[in-house]
Amino acid sequence: MKHFLLFYKTSPDYLERRAAFRQVHLEKAWAASARGELVLGGALTDPVDGAVLLFRAESREVPETFAKTDPYVLNGLVVSWEVREWTTVAGETAATPVKP
């Protein structure tokens, strides 16, 4: 398994529009967590201009599919997104641990 970071860039009116889509977005996120795909996720603060979601999966297709079907993306609250593979080497859940 590999780690992937999904970066969201949110719209200027994200906070004002979020409530209408938040329940469905959170249901989607918690379902991904229950499947063991989503490790952590949440909005950035100061300023609230994006979010970061950490996935554990075999391929980048998992976070890409999440983004492509996320109500925040589909309804324009997220104006752009990017998936980056993250080579994790330290910590109990590192995908490729390298110990000294």
pLDDT of res. 73: 98
How many domains would you assign to the chain?
1
- Residue 92 in any domain: the answer is no
Q: Model-level pTM greater than 0.85?
A: yes
- Residue 97 in any domain: the answer is no
pLDDT of res. 7: 98
pLDDT of res. 79: 98
Give all strands of the β-sheet with 78-86 in edge-to-edge order: 38-43, 50-57, 2-10, 78-86
Nearest alpha-carbon partner for 28 in 68, 83, 70: 70
CATH classification of the domain holding 55? 3.30.70.1060
- Residue 99 in any domain: the answer is no
Residue 95: band (very low, low, confident or very high) from pLDDT cuts 50, 70, 90: very high
The pLDDT tens digits for 11-67 are 999 999 999 999 999 999 999 999 999 999 999 999 999 999 999 999 999 999 999
What range does the domain containing 59 cover? Answer: 2-86
